[in-house]
Amino acid sequence: MTDYSDPDFRAARLKKRYQAEKRFRAYGMAAIITAGLILVFLLGSIIYSSLPAFSHHQVRLDINISEDYVVADAPEEGNYLGLVRAALRDHFPQVTGRRDKRALYKILSIGASDAVEDRVKNDPRLIGTQISLYVPLSDDIDLMLKGLIDRNLPESDRIVSDRDLAFVDKLAEENRIERKFAFALFTNGDSREPEMAGIKGALAGSLWTLLVTLIVSFPLGVLAAIYLEEVAPKNRFTALIEVNINNLAAVPSIVYGLLGLAVFINFFHLPRSAPLVGGLVLALMTLPRIIIPTRAAFAAIPPSIREAALGVGASRTQVIMHHVLPLAMPGILTGTIIGLAQAAGETAPLLMIGMMAFIVDVPTEVTAKATVLPAQIYMWANNPERAFVARTSAGIVVLLTLLLVVNAAAIYFRRRFEKRW
């Protein structure tokens, strides 16, 4: 038997209990710090690894736009790659062999001619003159210049050969190489070449998809919420609907992808990879996520408002349309924005319906083939080329920034317009 009257025992036990208290608090603090560190590490590492993708090394070439390569009558048929290569050859007169020349060309990006092409097409008078222009280097050279490929490794261990190094060093000595902001990341569609790959196509695809989602899910969600919260009698039918909505909110997103594949694509023969189908699938997924906060917004409005309106002779529909709906709007919009933000980050159901195709063009309608930003990120993450790691992170940074802005807007909206009754 323990003797509780012994003062030493009591003091020792109290001390132990206080220590247990301290330990418990420390566990709690540790849990929060761990979660915080994870968040910081997650975001920090992704932002850090995205940094290289926002810039690209370019080389300034003096390009002789000679009539041999492009004629003034048809600037769109010019051989711009030949132009750029000739300009590069002029810098290295000592390179003569076919293989050496081919190696020399390889230090330039495949997209190097695009810049020249744009310039000449915009201003055909340039033909016959000499211009000085920055064109992008290839991704391997770029990584080497950024220090991501160690040039001190033995030649057999690195992608960039000694010969390429010599070319690049000579250009660098002439002060021709400069690190510039990578506009291509935002102005290009997808590409097999990391330095040419951009998110414009995926962003447009995301916008079209979300447009369909919004058009379908917002009215349906709000109407359903009005019915369930304001109009519907409490019977088995409405109880069934409520159970359904709560369950749908918890169904794994990939199951919606299966639904879309079976119903929209295989039954209704809608086109694969199209924002239309993607938007419909996401709309079904978002619907319960709009209905639930919308109902909460309706429920938060005091009954006195409805009773007052009914008292002065409004019909039930007028009560809803003139009073309840406008007052609930901030809550509804916040819920919708958050639901759409979730849909914007969703990938799995879209993989099922083929929205991860390699698509270079920017989609211009809801039935065009398209991909979305998260699917683009997934595809880049699967690409084995080194430079795509930074591209992927950059895509993630863009996606997270967009989501942050949208969610911040939702929170601002709620703070600004929400009424406490």
Partner 1 sequence: MSISFLFLCLLGLGAFSFLFGRRRIRGLTAMTGVKQHSRDVYHGSFVVICAVLLPLIILLAWSGLSPLLIDAMLEDFLRRQSPDLSIGEMGVLIAKVKAYFVGSLPEAFADELIRNGADYFAALVDYSTTARSFVVLLLSLCGAALGLRLLAPRFTARPAVERVFEIVMIVASAIAILTTIGIVLSLIFETLRFFDTVPVMEFLFGLSWSPQIAIREDQVGGSGSFGAIPLFAGTMMITFIAMLVAVPIGLMSAVYLSEYANPKLRGIAKPGIEILAGIPTVVYGFFAALMVAPFLRDSGAEIGLTLSSESALAAGLVMGIMIIPFISSLSDDVINAVPQTLRDGAAALGATQSETICQVVLPAALPGIVSAILLAMSRAIGETMIVVMAAGVAANLTANPFESVTTVTVQIVMLLVGDQEFDSAKTLAAFALGLVLFFITLLLNVLALYVVNRFKEQYD
Q: Which stretches of 242-398 are assigned E, i.e. beta strand? A: none
Q: Which of residues 288-347 bind partner 1 (CB under 8 A)?
A: 288, 291, 315-317, 341, 344-347
Q: What CA–CA distance (Å, rounded) separates 371 from 374?
A: 9
For residue 74 the two structure tokens come to: 């048809």
Identity of the residue, 45 or 129, whose beta carbon is nearer to partner 1 in the bound complex:
45
Cα separation, 80 vs 127, in Å, equals 12
Task: List binders of partner 1 among 354-383 (CB under 8 A).
Answer: 356, 365-366, 374-375, 377-378, 381-382
Q: Candidates 51, 223, 299, 405: give the one binding partner 1 (CB under 8 A).
A: 223
Which residue's CB is nearer to partner 1, number 87 or number 337? 337
Of the candidate spans 146-154, 172-180, 195-203, 216-224, the one that interacts with partner 1 by CB under 8 A turns out to be 216-224
Q: Which stretch binds partner 1 (CB under 8 A): 69-77, 96-104, 155-163, 348-356?
A: 348-356
Neighbours of 32 (CB within 10 A): 9
User: Among residues 172, 142, 126, which one has the least CA distance to residue 52?
Assistant: 142
Query: Under 8 Å CB-to-CB from 309, ≥6 apart: which residues?
Result: 318, 319, 322, 323
Q: What is the DSSP letter of 76?
A: G
CA 283 to chain centre: 19
The footprint of partner 1 on residues 48-77 (CB under 8 A) is 49
Sites for partner 1 among residues 170-209 (CB under 8 A): none
Does position 351 interact with partner 1 (CB under 8 A)? The reply is yes
Interacting residues with partner 1 between 4 and 23 (CB under 8 A): 17-18, 20-21, 23
When asked if residue 407 is in the footprint of partner 1 (CB under 8 A), the reply is yes
Residues 264-293 that bind partner 1 (CB under 8 A): 266-270, 284, 287-288, 291
The residue written with tokens 């590409």 in the block is 191
State in angstroms the smallest separation of the CB of 72 from partner 1. Answer: 32
Mark residues 224-253: x for contact with partner 1 by CB under 8 A, - for none. Answer: x-xxx--xx-----x-xx--xx-xx-xxxx
Which of 382, 373, 306, 368 has its CA nearest to residue 344? 373
Residue 137, classed as helix, strand or coil, is strand
User: In this structure, are residues 402 and 344 in contact, taking their beta carbons and an 8 Å threshold?
Assistant: yes
